[in-house]
């Protein structure tokens, strides 16, 4: 089965799950003939080994936030359900979990995790006709018991206010994603340093992390987007989710 969202919906319906925020992902893995353990993993968040219908999921004991653990476990559960027809081993780090590593299996596992933890209908209802803001992302993350990062990516797909999300690590852009109705062209930032006039660059150069009440900073459109011949370099806003553990920044860019 490779239709990841359908597989997640099917699982929710089969088990009669009504409140996805309270799902114990460990129990779902056990239900599918797997075991879950924690260990001090090096350079990855999760590891999965499966053979003959049985699975062992190992999650890094150093992961600080429970919401991050839930997403890692949901991602591994996606592999178990979607890719159970073969003996396989998956090692998942920030590249596979952020969605920018090439390969259909990783995308399918992420799509499964997103639908399991933040079902489309419920998520759309929760943010219907609401503008993007850090407070809204925090509210949605609390409602669905998910990380801010995974909530932002889901909002890019399902929210009613266009955003673009740029993921960088060690000061270098790795991946970007934008809402379908964010109608500005993104130049080829990947594998290049973050823009010098971006809020992300302030973290990498000055180790600056803005307090909560100053989390949204004004930038210009040309910081992250390519201006057309007649485009005005108007004001936009950047909100950064910083993860010192990975030396990474997720820059969320939007208009008021």
CATH code, 208: 3.30.450
Using one digit for the tens of pLDDT, what is the confidence trace for 195-230?
A: 999 999 999 999 999 999 999 999 999 999 999 888
Q: Are residues 77 and 164 in the same domain?
A: no
End-to-end Cα, the chain, rounded Å: 41
Q: What is the DSSP string of 28-42?
A: HHHHTTEEEEEE--S
Q: Are residues 18 and 79 in the same domain?
A: yes
Q: Are residues 138 and 97 in the same domain?
A: no
Q: Are residues 125 and 230 in the same domain?
A: yes
Q: Are residues 134 and 229 in the same domain?
A: yes
pTM (two decimals): 0.92
- Residue 55 makes CB contacts below 8 A (sequence gap 6+) with 29, 32, 33, 34, 35, 48, 49, 76, 80
Out of 117, 145, 164, a domain closes at 117
pLDDT at 69: 95
CATH number at residue 17: 1.10.10
Q: What is the average per-residue pLDDT within 237-254?
A: 95
Out of 93, 117, 141, a domain closes at 117
Out of 58, 87, 117, a domain closes at 117
Total domain count for the chain? Answer: 2
């Amino acid at each position: 089965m490779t239709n990841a969202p359908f597989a997640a919906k099917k699982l929710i319906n089969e088990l009669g799950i009504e409140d996805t925020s309270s799902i114990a992902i460990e129990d779902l893995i056990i239900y599918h003939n797997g075991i879950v353990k924690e260990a001090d993993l090096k350079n990855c968040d999760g590891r999965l080994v499966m053979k003959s219908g049985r699975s062992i999921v190992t999650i890094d004991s150093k992961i600080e936030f429970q919401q991050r653990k839930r997403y890692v476990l949901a991602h591994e559960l996606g592999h178990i359900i979607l890719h159970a027809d073969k003996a396989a081993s998956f090692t998942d780090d920030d590249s596979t979990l952020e969605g920018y590593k090439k390969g259909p299996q990783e995308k399918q596992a992420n799509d499964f995790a997103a639908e399991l933890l933040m079902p489309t209908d419920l998520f759309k209802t929760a943010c219907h006709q609401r503008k993007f803001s850090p407070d809204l992302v925090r509210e949605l993350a609390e409602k669905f018991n998910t990380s801010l990062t995974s909530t932002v990516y889901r909002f890019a797909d399902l929210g009613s206010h266009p955003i673009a999300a740029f993921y960088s690590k060690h000061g270098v852009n790795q991946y970007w994603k934008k809402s379908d109705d964010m109608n500005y062209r993104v130049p080829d930032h990947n594998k290049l340093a973050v823009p010098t006039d971006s809020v992300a660059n302030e973290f990498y150069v000055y180790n600056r992390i803005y307090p909560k009440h100053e989390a949204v900073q004004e930038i210009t459109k040309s910081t992250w987007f390519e201006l057309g011949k007649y485009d005005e370099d108007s004001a936009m806003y950047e909100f950064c989710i910083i993860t010192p553990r990975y030396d990474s920044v997720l820059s969320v860019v939007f208009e008021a």
